[in-house]
Amino acid sequence: MTYLPPGLPAPVIENDGLDLPYWEGTRQGVLKVQRCGACNTWQWGPEWLCHHCRSWDMRWVQVEGKGRIWTWTRCWHPVHPALRDHGPYIAVLIELPHAGDIRMLGNLLGDPEQAVTIGASVEAVFEPHDDAPAPYTLVQWRRA
């Protein structure tokens, strides 16, 4: 059971391999983001270079799947054919205070018409899509 219906675009690893560790990690239920080996700056999304000190030594480190809601939207208008007749759904932008306040997008699991509070604590839920031609796992969030 996935939060959104099937038919949305499937994520694939970038052809230059930049985000490979992230997508490999989510398949194993592990959340990995970038951290600079030279200056310890957290970085998300992935990039080849540290934006703070220009080191190439970007490392992939596991972080705890906990965060808080930084902003959100409830989408009503179906902009994709797969969402026609689906009804509203919630997208949340989560900040990770224990990882330099980096932010990642996901859906807020549960009632799509629930009240959403900026600042509320959430935890990660791994949502596998095993039937996809190239199986992948999304990181979703629920109220903690």
Partner 1 sequence: MERSLRGKVAVVGIGETRYYKHGQSPEPEFKLALMAILAAAADAGIDPSDIDSFASYSNDRNDPSRLAAALGTKELRLSNMQWGGGGGGGAAAVGNAAAAIITGQADIAVVYRALAQGQFQRFGRAAAGGTVSGDNALINPYGIFVPAQRFALKFMRYMHEHGVRREAMRAIAMASYHHAQSNPRAVMYGRPLTEEAYDTSRWIAEPYRLFDCCQENDGAAALILVSAERAKDFRHKPAYVLAAAQGSDHRNAARSFNAPDFASSSFGPVAPHLWEMAKLGPDDVDVLQSYENFTGGVLMSMAEHGFFKPEEANDFLTLENLLAPSGKLPLNTSGGNLAECYMHGLELQIEAVRQIRGQSTAQVPDVHVAGVIAGPMVTPVSTMIIGSQETL
- From the list partner 1, Zn ion, none, which binds 138 (C-beta under 5 to 8 Å, kind-based)? partner 1
- Tell me the β-bridge partners of 8: none
Which residue from 41, 44, 40 is spatially nearest to 32, judged by alpha carbons?
A: 44
61 makes contact with Zn ion (CB under 5 A) = no
- From the list partner 1, Zn ion, none, which binds 107 (C-beta under 5 to 8 Å, kind-based)? partner 1
> Taken in order 34, 36, 41, 47, is the CA torsion positive or negative?
negative
- From the list Zn ion, partner 1, none, which binds 103 (C-beta under 5 to 8 Å, kind-based)? partner 1
143 makes contact with partner 1 (CB under 8 A) = no
By beta-carbon proximity to Zn ion, the closer residue of 31 and 58 is 58
Number of residues that bind partner 1 (CB under 8 A): 44
Q: List binders of partner 1 among 64-103 (CB under 8 A).
A: 70-77, 79-83, 88-89, 91, 93, 102-103
Residue 39 three-state SS: coil
Torsion of CA 38, 123, 30, 61, to 10 degrees: 10
Q: What separation in angstroms does the CA of 34 have from each of 86, 123, 137?
A: 35, 19, 18
Which stretch of DSSP H or E encloses residue 67?
strand 66-75
36 makes contact with Zn ion (CB under 5 A) = yes
- Residues engaged in binding partner 1 (CB under 8 A): 4, 7-15, 18-19, 23, 44-47, 51, 70-77, 79-83, 88-89, 91, 93, 102-107, 118, 134, 138
